Amino acid sequence: MKNTIKVQRAIANLTQEELAKKVSVSRQTINAMEANKYVPSTVLALKIAKIFKKSVEEIFILEKKD
């Protein structure tokens, strides 16, 4: 699963640490998601989408292999 978290963070002018605090995870979790090494839970995906005022589908993109 790909995502646009890094782009959305840049638009919102948030650091990984700031986003992590807003959604109650570690900075390392945000880093792993941005590197496509971690797929978030549904709850975490919804929290991230809400922070950026986007739909989950605008942040997280399913790939054919998923």
| Domain regions of the chain by residue span | 2-54
The pair of structure tokens assigned to 5 is 């978290």
Q: pLDDT-derived band of residue 65, with 50, 70 and 90 as boundaries?
A: confident
Q: Give pLDDT tens digits for 30-61.
A: 999 999 999 999 999 999 999 999 999 999 99
Q: Tokens for 49, please give them.
A: 């989408």
Pair 59, 4: CB distance under 8 Å = yes
pLDDT surpassing 90 at residue 63: no
Report the share of the chain in percent with pLDDT over 70.
100
CATH of domain 2-54: 1.10.260.40
Alpha-carbon span 20 to 22, nearest angstrom? 5
